[in-house]
Structure 1
Amino acid sequence: MASVLSYESLVHAVAGAVGSVTAMTVFFPLDTARLRLQVDEKRKSKTTHMVLLEIIKEEGLLAPYRGLFPVISSLCCSNFVYFYTFNSLKAVWVKGQRSTTGKDLVVGFVAGVVNVLLTTPLWVVNTRLKLQGAKFRNEDIVPTNYKGILDAFHQIIRDEGLSALWNGTFPSLLLVFNPAIQFMFYEGLKRQLLKKRMKLSSLDVFVIGAVAKAIATTVTYPLQTIQSILRFGRHRLNPENRTLGSLRNVLYLLHQRVRRFGIMGLYKGLEAKLLQTVLTAALMFLVYEKLTAATFTVMGLKSARRP
Structure 2
Amino acid sequence: MTAEVFSYESLVHAVSGAVGSVTAMTVFFPLDTARLRLQVDENRKAKSTPAILADIVKEEGLLAPYRGWFPVICSLCCSNFVYFYCFHWMKASWLKSRQSTPSTDLIVGIVAGVINVLLTTPLWVVNTRLKLQGSKFHNSDIRPTNYSGILDAFKQIVRKEGVGALWNGTFPSLLLVLNPAIQFMVYEGLKRQLRRGASRELSSLEAFIIGAVAKAVATIVTYPLQTMQSVLRFGQVNTPTEKSTLLSSLQTLQGLLVNRARKHGVLGLFKGLEAKLLQTVLTAALMFLLYEKIASSTFRVMGLSSGHYKRR
TM-score (norm 1): 0.96
Residue 210 of structure 1 pairs with residue 212 of structure 2: yes
CA distance in 1 between partners of 2:290 and 2:43 (Å): 38
1:52 is aligned to 53
2:311 alignment partner AA: R
User: Counterparts of 1:101-116 in structure 2 under 5 Å?
Assistant: 101-116=102-117
- In the alignment, what sits opposite 1:231? 233
Indicate if the aligned counterparts of 2:201 and 2:296 stay in contact, CA closer than 8 A. Answer: no
Unaligned ranges ≥5, structure 1: none
- The amino acid across from 1:254 in the alignment is L
- Mapped to 2, the partners of 1:283 and 1:63 lie a distance apart of 23
Distance 1:287 1:120 in 2: 25
Does the C-alpha gap of structure 1 residues 9 and 196 become closer, same or farther in structure 2, counting only changes over 3 Å?
A: closer
Equivalent residue pairs, number: 306
Alpha-carbon distance in structure 1 between the residues aligned to 2:213 and 2:52: 25
**Distance across 1 between alignment mates of 2:249 and 2:158:** 19
Q: Does 1:37 align with 2:38?
A: yes
> Secondary structure at 1:301's aligned position in 2?
coil
Cα drift, residue 297 of structure 1: 1.3
Are 2:209 and 2:285, in contact at CA under 8 Å, matched by a contact in 1? yes
Contact 1:143–1:234, Cα closer than 8 Å, also in 2: no
Report the alpha carbon displacement of residue 44 of structure 1 after superposing the two structures with TM. Answer: 1.4
Q: How far did residue 46 of structure 1 move? A: 2.0
Contact preservation (8 Å) 2:13, 2:85:
yes
Give the drift of 1:234.
2.5
1:246 aligns with 2:215: no
What is aligned with 1:94?
A: 95
Quickly say closer, same or farther: Cα 1:241–1:201, change in 2 above 3 A: farther
* Aligned equivalent of 2:78: 77
- Once the two structures are superposed, what CA deviation does each residue of 1:5-46 show, in whole Å capped at 9, x if it has no partner? 100000000000000000000000000000000000000142
Q: What is the Cα deviation at residue 296 of structure 1?
A: 1.1
Distance 1:6-1:304 versus aligned 2 partners, 3 A rule: farther
Which secondary structure state, in structure 2, belongs to the residue aligned with residue 246 of structure 1? helix
Pairing 1:264–2:291 present: no
CA distance in 1, matches of 2:239, 2:283: 37
1:292 and 2:295 equivalent?
Answer: yes
Q: Residue 151 of structure 2 corresponds to which residue in structure 1?
A: 150
Aligned AA (2:274): E
SS in 2 for 1:3: helix
Find the aligned partners of 2:201 and 2:213 in 1 and give their Cα distance. Answer: 19
Q: Distance in 1 between matches of 2:208 and 2:293?
A: 11
The question of whether the paired residues in 2 share the 8 Å contact of 1:125 and 1:149 is answered with: yes
Which residue identity lines up with residue 126 of structure 2 in the other structure? V
Query: Does structure 2 conserve the Cα–Cα contact (< 8 Å) formed by 1:241 and 1:249?
Result: no
Identity of aligned residues (%): 72
Letter in 2 for 1:216: A
Q: CA deviation at 1:90?
A: 0.2
What is the distance in 2 between the residues matched to 1:305 and 1:250?
Answer: 42
In the alignment, the residues of structure 1 paired with residue 304 and residue 222 of structure 2 have an alpha-carbon distance, to the nearest angstrom, of: 38
Give the Cα separation in 2 of the matches to 1:196 and 1:300: 20
How far 1:196 moved relative to its partner?
Answer: 7.5
Q: Distance in 2 between matches of 1:71 and 1:234?
A: 20
Q: Which runs of 5+ in 2 are unaligned?
A: none
